[in-house]
């Protein structure tokens, strides 16, 4: 009985603290479906690596796949799935799919499947490969909104899967390789601008060469820097024209100002300022920043996440978080922009991390602050202890009651004896 009570307490402990109930997965063709990965946008002619981070995390938290499990990555062509084997231009390497190099025809949906005797789990990711960087600059670029005077310290993103050569990462402004931005400063592949000015706004490209199978491939990423505010004024002596101004000119100036259309700033609908995202240790989080703006301003409105004041790609969270999946939809009152942030796994390092969602366009800028937090283990353990002690005492009470239960005397034999004597 005591052993039963202890086992029951352990089960309760795992349920309450160690293993909270997981939401059920949807199914298709007898396979469980994992949440799709963040979409990937790349350029033709460069090396591309597809990873399924959310898929791997789901298998881990549900204890479905052993370390030696085999994964199959295929391209969904609508009617059939094309697998990649061997050492061709597109090849599967463990849990990743490598394009050496990528072509525009590689665009599409890719499925990662894990199957064993009892389980089948699938995840998906969508890849877009463009022939030129100018085809869809907004999707290819990592948008960074800053205010005049702020510091830019941006790491060339999404390069962790590549083995870099001894060549340094090169940054260029716009698309011209002759416009090197070395005067702005580079350190370990980061673009550094101590005090941003209006003239720094524009498109930047970081390029590097990677080595795969003793062959070099090009990899590049695009950064679009948006700068809001006015540069510090240069102090000069100017004549005072207030006494000689023309009243008619003043009236016309004021009239033109009155007729200038006012652009309302974008508004962050979700998350609210001060939100705390709480999650158990080892679990993942899927966050969304939702911004409301005028539909005509949607394309030029920047939305991004910051981690401790840095971009996700430049922060410590780079290896554990994915940002992307921007969507624009029409809603009542304008258009809503939605930007996804996926945290693959929550750890103690994430506690008290400051998250910011920032949005900016010609009408203005807004930001909200949120935080990560692990579920309160002290309160959880109190609940566990109370439940375990209660179960233990209940089982012990039942055991003692059965052991020391008083025995009743049976009168049946006595009655039968009297009946026999009478006869």
| pLDDT tens-place string over residues 389-398 | 776 778 777 7
Q: Which of 87 and 206 is assigned the larger pLDDT? A: 206
Q: Which of 189 and 219 is assigned the larger pLDDT? A: 219
Write down the domain spans for the chain.
Answer: 1-25+377-416, 34-130, 137-230, 267-374
Q: What is the pLDDT of residue 19?
A: 46
Mean pLDDT on 275-286:
75
Q: Do domains 137-230 and 267-374 have the same CATH topology?
A: yes
pLDDT band at 88 (very low <50, low <70, confident <90, very high): confident
Q: What is the pLDDT of residue 259?
A: 53
Mean pLDDT on 114-138:
83
Q: Report the percent of the chain where pLDDT is more than 70.
A: 71
Least confident residue range of 112-126, 230-244, 406-420: 406-420
Class assignment of domain 137-230?
mainly beta
pLDDT band at 406 (very low <50, low <70, confident <90, very high): low
Is the pLDDT confidence value at 233 over 90?
A: no
Mean pLDDT on 261-281:
82
What CATH number belongs to 34-130?
2.60.40.10
Q: What is the pLDDT of residue 253?
A: 45
Least confident residue range of 20-24, 211-215, 313-317: 20-24
Q: Report the percent of the chain where pLDDT is more than 90.
A: 12
pLDDT digits (tens, 9 = 90+) for 160-218: 888 766 667 888 887 544 455 544 445 567 888 888 888 888 889 888 888 888 888 99
Mean pLDDT on 284-309:
86
pLDDT band at 229 (very low <50, low <70, confident <90, very high): confident
Least confident residue range of 64-68, 217-221, 291-295: 64-68
Q: Which of 197 and 325 is assigned the larger pLDDT? A: 197
| Cα–Cα distance measured from residue 349 to residue 281, given in angstroms and rounded to the nearest whole number | 10
Least confident residue range of 61-65, 73-77, 194-198, 335-339: 61-65
The chain-wide mean pLDDT, for the chain, equals 75
pLDDT digits (tens, 9 = 90+) for 339-368: 888 887 777 777 778 888 899 888 888 889
The CATH superfamily holding the domain 267-374 is Immunoglobulins (2.60.40.10)
Q: What is the pLDDT of residue 13?
A: 43
- Contact residues for 414 (Cβ-Cβ < 8 A; gap 6+): none
Mean pLDDT on 286-307:
87
Is the pLDDT confidence value at 57 over 70?
A: yes
Q: What is the pLDDT of residue 108?
A: 93
Is the pLDDT confidence value at 20 over 60?
A: no
Least confident residue range of 115-129, 200-214, 308-322: 308-322
Is the pLDDT confidence value at 335 over 50?
A: yes
């Amino acid at each position: 009985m005591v052993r039963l009570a202890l086992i029951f307490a352990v089960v309760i402990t795992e349920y309450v603290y160690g293993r909270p109930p997981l939401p059920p997965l949807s199914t298709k063709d007898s396979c469980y479906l994992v949440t799709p990965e963040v979409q990937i946008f790349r350029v033709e002619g460069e090396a591309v690596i597809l990873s399924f981070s959310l898929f791997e995390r789901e298998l881990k938290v549900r204890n479905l796949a052993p370390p030696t499990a085999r994964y199959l990555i295929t391209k969904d062509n609508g009617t059939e799935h094309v697998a990649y084997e061997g050492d061709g231009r597109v090849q599967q390497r463990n849990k990743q799919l490598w394009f050496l190099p990528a072509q525009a025809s590689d665009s599409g949906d890719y499925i990662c499947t894990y199957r064993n005797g009892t389980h089948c789990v699938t995840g998906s990711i969508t890849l877009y490969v463009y022939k030129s960087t100018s085809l869809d600059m907004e999707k290819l670029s990592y948008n960074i909104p800053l205010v005049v005077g702020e510091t830019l310290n941006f790491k060339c993103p999404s390069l962790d899967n590549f083995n870099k050569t001894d060549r340094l990462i090169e940054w260029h402004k716009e698309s011209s390789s002759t416009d090197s931005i070395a005067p702005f400063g580079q350190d370990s592949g980061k673009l550094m601008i101590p005090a941003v000015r209006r003239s720094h706004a524009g498109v930047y490209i970081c390029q590097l060469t990677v080595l795969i199978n003793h062959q070099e491939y090009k990899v590049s990423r695009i950064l679009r820097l948006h700068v809001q505010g006015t540069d510090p004024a240069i102090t000069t002596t100017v004549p005072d024209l207030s006494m000689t101004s023309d009243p008619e000119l003043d009236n016309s100036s004021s009239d033109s100002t009155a007729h200038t259309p006012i652009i309302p700033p974008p508004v962050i609908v979700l998350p609210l300022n001060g939100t705390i995202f709480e999650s158990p240790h080892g679990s993942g989080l899927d966050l969304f920043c939702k911004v409301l703006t005028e539909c005509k301003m949607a394309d030029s409105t920047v939305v991004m996440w910051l981690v401790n004041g840095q971009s996700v790609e430049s922060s410590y969270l780079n290896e554990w978080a994915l940002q992307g999946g921007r969507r624009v939809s029409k809603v009542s009152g304008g258009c809503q922009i939605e930007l996804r942030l996926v945290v693959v796994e929550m750890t103690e390092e994430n506690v008290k991390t400051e998250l910011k969602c920032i949005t900016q366009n010609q009408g203005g800028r807004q930001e909200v602050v949120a935080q990560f937090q692990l579920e309160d283990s002290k309160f959880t353990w109190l609940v566990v202890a109370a439940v375990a002690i209660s179960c233990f005492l209940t089982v012990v009470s039942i055991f003692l009651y059965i052991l020391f239960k008083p025995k009743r005397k049976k009168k049946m034999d006595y009655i039968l004896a009297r009946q026999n004597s009478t006869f």
